[in-house]
Amino acid sequence: MRKYSYIIIDNDAESVLKTRIVAEGFSELTFIASATNYQQGLNLVLEHRPYFIFLEIDPQDSASNLSLAFIGELYRFLSVIPKIIITTVTKELAFDAIQYGVFDYILKPLTHVDLVKTLLKLEKVLFESKEQKTSVSESSVAILEENVSEVKITPFIEEKEQIEAKEEAPVIIQEVQIQQIPEKPLILCIKSYGDYRYMNAADICYFQADNNSTDIYLNSGEMVTAFKTLKHFESILVHPFIRIHNSYIINQNYISRIHNGNSVCYIKNSTKKIPFSKTYKANVDLIIANFSAGNYIEI
């Protein structure tokens, strides 16, 4: 029987325990570890490469920093993403979760039947994948046999003459150019009563919360208001956008300076200073680590 390792990432210790108790009822599931916040969870996944991740994306404690953005972060480091099983108390984020390609979406509390369905779903996916590979393999063999049956056997002398003729003929090497399709930039569309406002995500410096709406600041100095909460943007945006404060999400490509003493980030070509809080200090440390991991010299 194949074994599937898993990690639980949830800021609620009771939920972690309940999920683990249910999972232990399945001999094919092997527990590795659990984490209560974004950074701990990321470190565990990168170190152990589990098959499954049970992930909470709408925690009661925002300090854990858990959201769908965690999945986006995995794509920065891993070529093969673990199968994500969302475990949360509401259906509200189900559609957004689908956009991130999660394997399953389960409402808390997790039950034995929920995991039965998930493992049956996995079994079906693996079976269909195997069938597809077998079908492709059989088709290849059939084509090969068909081609072989069409080969004509020529006399040895004729074959020798053909070989000598080929050796005398000039060899023409045709250069094949592979056209690379450039990746399209992410476009953010802000809709309001039939008004569609488009902007390149790369032009956005930062997002600032304003009650139930969010102000979007562009590198041109322009500000656009969207009638969505900052938490909504946090759930759909991935690198280089990262939350550093209850009121701010920043595009780290526009950071020119980070002052830990004053707990502020400076924006390029601007006098604007964006504060960061202790709650999101781990994210600021991640930004610093990202800078140092590139083409970087520290003096």
User: pLDDT digits over 40-91, tens only?
Assistant: 999 999 999 999 999 999 998 888 999 999 998 998 898 899 999 999 999 9
Q: How confident is the model at residue 173 (pLDDT cuts 50, 70, 90)?
A: low
- Please give the domain boundaries of the chain with CATH numbers for all domains: 4-118 (3.40.50.2300), 187-292 (2.40.50.1020)
pLDDT at 294 over 90: no
Position 142 scores a pLDDT of 58
Q: Tell me the average pLDDT of the chain.
A: 85
- CA–CA gap between residue 77 and residue 251 (Å, rounded): 19
Tokens of 10: 């949830």
How far out from the chain centre does Cα 40 lie? 17
CB 52 within 8 A of CB 4: yes
Position 153 scores a pLDDT of 45
Position 151 scores a pLDDT of 47
Sole residue written with tokens 């020798």: 160
pLDDT tens-digit profile of 25-44? 999 999 999 999 999 999 99
Position 182 scores a pLDDT of 59
| Range 138-160 average pLDDT | 53
- CA–CA gap between residue 57 and residue 89 (Å, rounded): 10
Global confidence as pTM: 0.49
pLDDT tens-digit profile of 206-240? 999 998 899 999 999 999 999 999 999 988 888 88
Question: Percent of the chain beyond pLDDT 70?
Answer: 83
How far, CA to CA in Å, does 231 sit from each of 212, 226, 238, 242, 264? Answer: 10, 12, 13, 11, 21
Mean pLDDT lowest for which of 9-13, 21-25, 135-139, 232-236? 135-139
What one-character DSSP code corresponds to residue 67? S
- CA–CA gap between residue 233 and residue 243 (Å, rounded): 10
